[in-house]
């Protein structure tokens, strides 16, 4: 297929594909799916070999968020029956993190619900980072605390944080349909705050909220322009009690096409398979390892994930290997930080603003994804790990 040959060549050169090429990946047929996966897999192996980086989430503070993000079970007015608790103490968070590290996680992601941290919250998290680093000096720590104010990223960096996560989630043109209590521009600004402080930026998306193909391409091109070091790809977990509980728009085949498109647009970036993989990819998860080079181990913030041992077995059975603590994740030319000028986007379509064909209300994709059946049996609220007396899943 000429399209795939072109995309592989561009990916090996770190060259940005055209919008038309990215859109075409999303509309390939199921008959061509294995060819799409194989092509994107060549790009993945060029920059990351067969290594899989493991990441582990610790939910420092769960629920009671004042923001109204429609996809989130912790949102303002959420009726989801999730765990709700205030800040974990540093030793509690360190103990939770240790379980993930023991399971093979190279990075621990510290997450707290809320619009953004107060200065006192930054102090709390700084102490938690110190406690984790004291027990596991080599582990990477990524903070995800919401919108950052001036100086907060610098304080987290000084405390030992390695990275900061703040996702764009969806296209700029449809962002207001998902969240009204903050803006897309607020999110972009926080990513830039993190980069300016010398933190490794982590920013990604959520697919399956009813967005169009153009919306997906818009947000991935915007991420390419922001140039984070890691791009987590979440698939909406439709939790009962949230506004998007009825959005079951994904099939395993569509999820794989989305991941392939992200890899072609962001060839040398850590693409992380994040929330919702078990719900939407199901038995096709091993194929996704040919597209991503990073996954979350165990449970998510408010829902349960695949058993940690099953994750490790899947990686081994698919012929991949867990990335060790002594291995640098990113290719040498990225230097662990922002992209060198050689891989700066060469196409003006990579600007952060959405292009006109992604505008308008959120609408279902045209590839038949809306026909996906609801698998509510695969959505289980987390009742173990952080904030409970039960052992975590790692």
Q: Which sequence positions are flagged as catalytic? A: 65, 69, 72, 109, 142, 202, 272
Strand (E) or helix (H) holding 225: helix 213-226
In angstroms, rounded to a whole number, what is the distance separating the alpha carbons of residues 142 and 55? Answer: 10
Burial of 86: CB neighbours in 10 Å, binned 0-12, 13-18, 19+: exposed
Measured CA to CA, the distance from residue 299 to residue 149 in angstroms comes to 29
49, 332 contact by CB (below 8 A): no
SS (H, E, C) 329-375: CCCHHHCCCCCCHHHCCCCHHHCCCCCHHHCCCCCCCCCCHHHCCCC
Q: How many residues does the chain have?
A: 394
Residue 55 main-chain phi, psi, to 5 deg: -125, 150
d(CA 205, CA 393) in angstroms, rounded, equals: 24
Distance CA 161, CA 141 (A): 5
């Amino acid at each position: 297929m000429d399209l795939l040959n072109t995309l592989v060549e561009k990916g090996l050169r770190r060259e940005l594909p055209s919008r038309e090429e990215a859109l075409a990946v999303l509309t390939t047929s199921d008959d061509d799916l294995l060819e799409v996966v194989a092509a994107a897999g060549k790009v993945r192996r060029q920059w990351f070999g067969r290594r899989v980086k493991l990441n582990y989430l610790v939910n420092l503070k769960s629920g009671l968020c004042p923001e109204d993000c429609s996809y989130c079970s912790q949102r303002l007015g959420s009726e989801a029956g999730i765990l709700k608790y205030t800040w974990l103490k540093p030793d509690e968070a360190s103990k939770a993190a240790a379980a993930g590290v023991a399971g093979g996680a190279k990075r621990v992601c510290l997450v707290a619900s809320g619009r953004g941290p107060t200065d006192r919250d930054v102090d709390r998290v700084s102490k938690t980072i110190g406690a984790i680093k004291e027990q596991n000096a080599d582990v990477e720590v990524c903070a995800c605390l919401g919108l950052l104010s001036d100086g907060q990223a610098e304080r987290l960096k000084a405390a030992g944080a390695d990275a900061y996560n703040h996702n764009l989630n969806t296209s700029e043109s449809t962002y207001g349909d998902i969240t009204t209590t903050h803006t897309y521009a607020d999110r972009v600004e926080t990513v830039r705050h993190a980069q300016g402080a010398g933190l490794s930026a982590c920013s990604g998306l959520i697919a399956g909220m009813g967005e169009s193909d153009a919306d997906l391409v818009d947000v991935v091109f915007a991420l390419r322009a922001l140039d984070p070091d890691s791009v987590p790809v979440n698939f909406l977990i439709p939790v009962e009690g949230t506004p998007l509980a009825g959005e079951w728009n994904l099939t395993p085949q569509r999820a794989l096409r989305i991941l392939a498109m992200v890899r072609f647009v962001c060839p040398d970036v850590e693409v992380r398979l994040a929330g919702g993989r078990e719900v939407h990819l199901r038995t096709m998860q091993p194929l996704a390892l040919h597209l991503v080079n990073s996954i979350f181990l165990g449970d998510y913030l408010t829902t349960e994930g695949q058993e940690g041992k099953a994750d490790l077995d899947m990686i081994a059975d698919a012929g991949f290997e867990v990335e060790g603590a002594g291995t640098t994740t990113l290719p040498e030319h990225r230097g662990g930080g922002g992209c060198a000028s050689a891989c700066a986007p060469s196409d003006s379509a990579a600007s952060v603003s959405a292009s006109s064909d992604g505008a308008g209300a959120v609408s279902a994709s045209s590839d038949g994804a809306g026909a996906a059946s609801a698998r509510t049996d695969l959505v289980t609220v987390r009742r173990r790990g952080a904030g409970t007396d039960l052992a975590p899943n790692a």
